[in-house]
Structure 1
Amino acid sequence: MTRPFLDDHRDEMIAELIGWLRLRSVAGVPEHGPDVARSANWLAGVLRGIGFPTVEVWPADGAPAVYAEWCAVPGAPTVLVYSHHDVRAAKDDLWAETPPFEPAVRDGRVYGRGASDAKGQVLAHLWGLRAHVADRDAPAVNLKLLVEGEEETGSAHLSDLLDEHEVSADLIVFSDTLLWRADHPAVCLSVRGMVNAELEVYGPGRDIHGGVVSGVAPNPIVALSTLIARLHDDKGRVTVPGFYDTVPEIPEQTRADYADLPYTDEDWLARTESRSVDGEAGYTPLERLWARPGIEVLTVVAGDPDGPSRGAVPSMASASLTVHTVPEQKINDVADQLRRWVAETMPPGVDYELTIPELVAQEAYHTPRDLPAVQVLADAMADGFGKPAGRMGNAGGGPAELLSRKVGAPVLFFGTGLPEDRWHDSDERVSIDVLVKGAATLASLWERLAR
């Protein structure tokens, strides 16, 4: 009965998602604090309407989380579902399909900020649960939901919330990840860790006319560019000493899992619009994405990025770096390695400041391959998508390791995003068909876990 129920309510599902996407729950922007609160209250109201007997909004420094419990089956497994309702900032003038907070439906997709990351993923849970309880009084398993409001800024208060409310479960279902392809589902077994760093390089004491000091004054853009150019060698490997010391070779089973997924460079480039395939030599693109560490430069700012140039040597240049780690690496060790490398590599004649916020760093996580719930999810995905599920990883990060450690339970990943959904970019979108299949998967998962 699950799929007929979802097909009958397809229009309601889309309308509900559109209503939620209109709320500008942008993370880390003070003027959007009220919008994040509205988003939390919107979700709390929907959860009460579905039937959750306990629904609470937990304040967290202006970015409230939503918690709900429906535990009506003594002896059944208790599952904590994790996701988030905050979204990334969006620049209206870069969106071509629709303004970011005026969602639209086109060609089987919903466009709007948060459509895939991650309000759409939460919505799949809402409708999967509605389908699951359509002919019963309560879920077959004991369900808890935790949907936080500051994931996009690093989940700084999540640890405190888990401690304060003593959240417990037998299993965590983490829904902030990608599928491989709409026509080829795959169970995600890992996420990489994340260390963010802000580097500011200082040259002259103030911006100085190039005609006065050019060729004599230190240029922070040149110094920063030189440093960035030295991050990788000619084979795509990170040059930070010690970076790979604890990274083992990829297990043969994992290599085989990735090789079984349908992949071509042409398909990947078309779906991600990433122009070319690059990275560490000796590994396939999927191995680089999911099982190898790396460092990315996300922003570089200096001089006069907007408007006409003043013709001045700038006093400062800055860059944002993100280090993606694998489980065998520890984020504190990687942070120390990066600090030493910058100190040893920075060109002379400039000063600098490297900031690595500890509260938003996240360890990598691997789901135990022999966890019985992995096969249960694979079977549920076969129910929902009508095809056998492969195995994959996730290139991004998230607080999976933190949740597992604090709650004392293993993490199972299930998301409804796709690489072509344009997360964090303009014209973010989500496939309605994938949302429906994801909801059907989750309805099957609760039934199968109970058995």
Structure 2
Amino acid sequence: MTADGELNAFLAAHLSEMLDGLKEWVRIPSVAAVPEREHDLLRSAHWLAGELRDVGFPTTRIWPGVYGPAVYAAWCETPGAPTVLVYSHHDVRAVKDENWDQTAPFEPVSRDGRLYGRGTSDAKGQVLAHLWGLRAHLATTGRGAPAVNLKFLVEGEEEAGSPGLARVLQDHAEELVADVVVFSDTLLWRAEHPGLCTGVRGMLSARLEIHGPFTDIHSGAVSGVAPNPALELARIIAQLYDDDGRITLPGFYDRVEEIPETRRAELAALPFDEGDWLARTQTRSIGGEAGYTVLERLWERPALEVVSLAAGDSAGVSRAVIPSVAAMDLSIRTVVGQRVHEVADQLRTWVAERVGDGFEYELTVSTTTAQEAYRTPEHPAVEALARAMAAGFGVEEVGRMGNAGGGPADLLAGSLDAPVVFFGTGLLEDNWHNSDESVRTDLLLAGAATLAHLWGELSRTQL
């Protein structure tokens, strides 16, 4: 049997064990930034630390965060080999139990080649792929320690914007020294065409409240005279984009770089079909900035989304009142070149210029949890990962893609002075942050195989 065959056979033989472990972990409702789940986050951290010790890591630590603890592990017994830090997270998004159809969120079930449950794909499944990839690497090479010096940092508050990560990186700088970071909280393009992610967009969140009457007022008493904050908010929302799909904040595009032709060619090489995209994402239609393809808009251009709206009696029996307050939450996705603090100022200026004189407003911009965009530099680790992915997924070559979401990649790269490469096992159709989240079990195997190959590839690569 070839080395690849032996590795794949090992992982296939342990698939049930891998899934049983993931189910056990998913049953711990480690929801981010919810006070009543604080103890579950600690239980989740201890569960992972135990699994890391079971794999063989001689050093494991649990470090406190703002909302949830981070898990650290180190196995550095290969002098002269590169040091690799694996980053991911064990906290999960909040759930609406009543919207789940396949199973309850924290009662994982296997069905039709998928495992359903909150965190199966984002990102507990990705962490488990790492553990089983390492087990396969050791078992099939006969090594007593990884071919690289390996460290893990799995935080417990990524879904809350990683508010404590900067402090963790500062307080534990010596323990976290690495030559390269493998960031495992991202997506693949397609199961049969696993693109290699080379960058993530930045993120800035904001909340705008428009205040009209001093209290909710019966519309029959003051209709047509009183200021209606819901209408004012609608008027403001209508101005966020122009007719070409461009965001209207002043100076917003000043630092946005044009997409290089080489990058456009990389994205164009990915197989894309509009009908397939709509089916996989359940997005109904395609919009966005004129002059760019769907994938360019997703990964190389900025965006702004209204992610929540609230005004009046949105639930229960209507009181037929003009609401005193209307509010929206915004999520702004930035690209390399932009800086989130500048975008925050642009938003403040834009709102101040547009809110009508008959209203008051309050704008809150979450700069403490904002994240800068990041692009992986030209680095030997990228090609090493591409070779590992080709071997792990059994394909001849691996395309290049991006990630429409964000993450603390720029923070990690800057704090550790190390490049970040991305590898995850998620798909668009895994329903991250939504109901019925799931992961394809064959991709967990392919991901674990990729990671088993990666440690050997990196050990032979001059970083």
Normalising TM by the smaller chain, what interval? over 0.9
- Displacement over 6 Å in runs of 4+: none
Structure 1 residue aligned with 2:137, among 123, 132, 138?
Answer: 132
Equivalents in 1 of 2:81, 2:27: separation in Å?
A: 37
Partner of 1:307: 316
Equivalents in 2 of 1:403, 1:91: separation in Å?
A: 32
Residue 379, structure 1, aligned to residue 387, structure 2: yes
Partner of 1:394: 403
- Contact 2:334–2:372, Cα closer than 8 Å, also in 1: yes
Partner of 1:150: 157
Equivalents in 2 of 1:174, 1:62: separation in Å?
A: 21
1:359 is paired with a residue whose SS is helix
Partner of 1:211: 220
TM-score, normalization: structure 1?
A: 0.99
1:397 is paired with a residue whose SS is coil
Equivalents in 1 of 2:332, 2:96: separation in Å?
A: 25
2:305 is paired with a residue whose SS is strand
Equivalents in 2 of 1:39, 1:435: separation in Å?
A: 20
- Contact 2:33–2:67, Cα closer than 8 Å, also in 1: no
- Contact 2:344–2:367, Cα closer than 8 Å, also in 1: no
Residue 121, structure 1, aligned to residue 126, structure 2: yes
Equivalents in 1 of 2:426, 2:247: separation in Å?
A: 29
Residue 30, structure 1, aligned to residue 49, structure 2: no
Equivalents in 2 of 1:116, 1:304: separation in Å?
A: 35
2:382 is paired with a residue whose SS is helix
Partner of 1:190: 199
Displacement, 1:62? 4.0
- Contact 1:37–1:62, Cα closer than 8 Å, also in 2: no
Structure 1 residue aligned with 2:188, among 164, 172, 179?
Answer: 179
Structure 1 residue aligned with 2:79, among 66, 74, 78?
Answer: 74
- Contact 1:85–1:119, Cα closer than 8 Å, also in 2: yes
1:93 is paired with a residue whose SS is helix
Query: What CA deviation, in whole Å up to 9, does each residue of 1:356-411 have, x standing for no partner?
Result: 1221000000001x211111111100000011210000000000000000011000
Equivalents in 2 of 1:306, 1:48: separation in Å?
A: 49
Query: What CA deviation, in whole Å up to 9, does each residue of 1:146-184 have, x standing for no partner?
Result: 000000000001000011011210000000110000000
- Contact 1:197–1:322, Cα closer than 8 Å, also in 2: yes
- Contact 1:373–1:412, Cα closer than 8 Å, also in 2: yes
Equivalents in 2 of 1:24, 1:301: separation in Å?
A: 28
Partner of 1:408: 417
1:188 is paired with a residue whose SS is strand
Residue 277, structure 1, aligned to residue 286, structure 2: yes
Aligned length: 450
Provide closer, same or farther for how the CA distance between residues 62 and 190 of structure 1 changes in structure 2, counting only shifts above 3 A. closer
1:127 is paired with a residue whose SS is helix
TM-score, normalization: structure 2?
A: 0.96
Letter in 1 for 2:111: R
- Counterparts in 2 of 1:182-261, with a 5 A limit? 182-261=191-270
Residue 105, structure 1, aligned to residue 110, structure 2: yes
Query: What CA deviation, in whole Å up to 9, does each residue of 1:252-306 have, x standing for no partner?
Result: 0110000000001101011010101110010000000000011111000111111
For structure 2, the residue ranges without an aligned partner over 5 or more in a row are 1-5
- Contact 1:326–1:364, Cα closer than 8 Å, also in 2: yes
For structure 1, the residue ranges without an aligned partner over 5 or more in a row are none
Query: What CA deviation, in whole Å up to 9, does each residue of 1:86-112 have, x standing for no partner?
Result: 000001110000010111111000000
- Counterparts in 2 of 1:278-297, with a 5 A limit? 278-297=287-306
1:113 is paired with a residue whose SS is coil
2:133 is paired with a residue whose SS is helix
Letter in 1 for 2:394: G
Provide closer, same or farther for how the CA distance between residues 210 and 99 of structure 1 changes in structure 2, counting only shifts above 3 A. same
Residue 162, structure 1, aligned to residue 169, structure 2: yes
Query: What CA deviation, in whole Å up to 9, does each residue of 1:174-223 have, x standing for no partner?
Result: 00110000000111000000000011111110101011111111111111
Displacement, 1:348? 2.7
Counting aligned pairs with the same residue, the percent is: 62
Residue 365, structure 1, aligned to residue 369, structure 2: no
Equivalents in 1 of 2:312, 2:128: separation in Å?
A: 43
Displacement, 1:3? 0.9
Letter in 2 for 1:407: L
Partner of 2:337: 328
Equivalents in 2 of 1:61, 1:253: separation in Å?
A: 41
1:297 is paired with a residue whose SS is strand
2:369 is paired with a residue whose SS is coil
Structure 2 residue aligned with 1:63, among 68, 72, 85?
Answer: 68
Equivalents in 2 of 1:338, 1:139: separation in Å?
A: 48
Equivalents in 2 of 1:308, 1:253: separation in Å?
A: 56
Equivalents in 2 of 1:361, 1:71: separation in Å?
A: 33
- Contact 1:227–1:347, Cα closer than 8 Å, also in 2: no
Equivalents in 2 of 1:416, 1:371: separation in Å?
A: 22
Partner of 2:47: 42
Equivalents in 1 of 2:67, 2:306: separation in Å?
A: 29
Partner of 1:85: 90
Equivalents in 2 of 1:415, 1:68: separation in Å?
A: 19
Equivalents in 1 of 2:356, 2:199: separation in Å?
A: 37
1:189 is paired with a residue whose SS is strand
- Counterparts in 2 of 1:335-350, with a 5 A limit? 335-350=344-359
Displacement, 1:16? 0.6
Equivalents in 2 of 1:32, 1:214: separation in Å?
A: 44
